[in-house]
Amino acid sequence: MTVLACGPYTGDFEQELFNFRPYVRWISKIAPTEHIFLSTHFNRAFLYDWIEPSNFIPVFEDLSRSELSQQGLMHSSLQLKDHNLLTKIFKEKVIEKSGSGKREIAMVNLTYSKNGNTPLYNKVFRPISIPPIRIEKKKIVYIPDLKEKKKRVHEIYNHLTKHYDVTVVGDFKTHLCEENVVLKKVDYFENGYKYIVKIISEADVVVCPLGHWTLLCNMQKVPVFSWGETPSLFIEGGVYNMGNKNARVASTDSDTPSQTIFDLSRYFIERVLTS
């Protein structure tokens, strides 16, 4: 009996969406086995609903709680030798749970590095099942990702709030933490990403800088307005558009005024809300 063991993954949410999750989905589809184990962050296991919950083996909890140390496909507190030890521990647990021999375990993972990109033909994207967790529906959602300049995301937020009831969401890698409704949850570390996915999936419109939040909206087919310097992969027909016909991407640079970005987003929001 061949057993597939995927992970351990200790990296960030961005690369989990862009690379690790679609890689695991791809390998799950082509592997000649139904016995698949997974090791990733305990609070993001729900992303892999095609894998039996009993076959999930989480990485150490402190690695999941320290979000700012999750960088790319790795964790800044772990050297390669530490990651190799985690892999060994994961394999031993798979052997114990599956009752298989060492030679029957096929270990698969992405290269342990800060930067990396899995070839598109080794990835299968699919929507995320909306978690059955209770939270009030939010109409206009704003995600001020840290990759955008603090001054500009604050200015855009101020413009938006003058015209709309705006809800800020995101993980610890976002600005406006004091406004973030998810970070205020007492069970954030256990259920934060479930809240985020549910809020985004049920939103009328999402506004965010171009990146993994845009990808998430596109996978969930949620109307999204994004801005950034490399829009080609996210526009209609792009590999990260996912067939989302309600996605608008504005091509901007570091000098584009926040007022211009807001004006474009407002035009999009009004079109969506009145359609």
Which pLDDT value is given to residue 115? 84
Q: Are residues 158 and 45 in the same domain?
A: no
Instruction: Say if residue 170's pLDDT is above 80.
Output: yes
| 74 within a domain of the structure (yes/no) | yes
Asked if pLDDT for residue 1 goes beyond 70, the answer is no
Residue 234: give its domain's CATH number. Answer: 3.40.50.2000
- The neighbour count for residue 148, using CB atoms within 10 Å, is 23
pLDDT of residue 275: 86
Residues 75 and 163 in one domain: no
Q: Are residues 231 and 267 in the same domain?
A: yes
In a domain, 127, yes or no: no
Tell whether 37 and 159 lie within a shared domain.
no
The mean predicted confidence, pLDDT, of the chain is 96
Is residue 13 in some structural domain?
Answer: yes
Q: Is residue 178 in a domain? A: yes
Note whether residue 128 is domain-resident.
no
| Predicted pLDDT of residue 181 | 97
**Same domain, residue pair 257 and 157:** yes
Same domain, 113 and 157: no
* pTM (predicted TM-score): 0.96
Are 38 and 102 in the same domain?
A: yes
Q: Is residue 131 part of a domain?
A: no
Write the CA distances from 145 to 149, 154, 237, integer angstroms: 9, 11, 25
Residues 69 and 158 in one domain: no
Tens-digit pLDDT profile for residues 60-90: 999 999 999 999 999 999 999 999 999 999 9
Number of structural domains found in the chain = 2
List, for residues 234-275, the tens digit of each pLDDT value. Answer: 999 999 999 999 999 999 999 999 999 999 999 999 999 998
Reported as a single tens digit per residue, the pLDDT across 201-242 is 999 999 999 999 999 999 999 999 999 998 999 999 999 999
Domain around 12: 3-122
Q: Is 175 helix (H, G, I), strand (E, B) or coil?
A: coil
Helix 212-219 with 188-202: angle, nearest 10 deg: 60
Specify if 133 maps to a domain.
no
Do 15 and 97 lie in a common domain?
A: yes
**Residue 129 within any structural domain of the chain:** no
* Co-location of 150 and 106 in the same domain: no
Task: Give me the mean pLDDT over the 152-171 stretch.
Answer: 98
Instruction: Based on the fold, state whether residues 22 and 90 are members of the same structural domain.
Output: yes
Residue 192: the pLDDT is 98
Give the residue-averaged pLDDT of 180-207: 97
Q: How far apart are CA 168 and CA 182, in angstroms?
A: 8
What angle is formed at CA 254 by the lines to CA 199 and CA 15, rounded to 5 degrees? 45
Judged against a pLDDT cut of 80, whether residue 125 lies above it is answered with: yes
* 5-64 tens-digit pLDDT: 999 999 999 999 999 999 999 999 998 787 999 999 999 999 999 999 999 999 999 999
CA distance 8 to 30: 20
Q: Which of 122, 148, 165 is at the close of a domain?
A: 122
Average pLDDT, stretch 179-201?
Answer: 97
- pLDDT reported for residue 97: 95
Q: Let me know the angle formed at the C-alpha of 67 by 223 and 235, rounded to the nearest 5 degrees.
A: 25
What pLDDT is attached to residue 116? 80
Residues 157 and 270 in one domain: yes
Q: What is the pLDDT of residues 97-109, one digit of tens each?
A: 999 999 999 999 9
Q: Which amino acid is at 86?
A: L
What b/e readout covers 35-62, taking b as 16+ CB neighbours within 10 angstroms? bbbbbbbbbbbbbbeebeeebbbbbeee
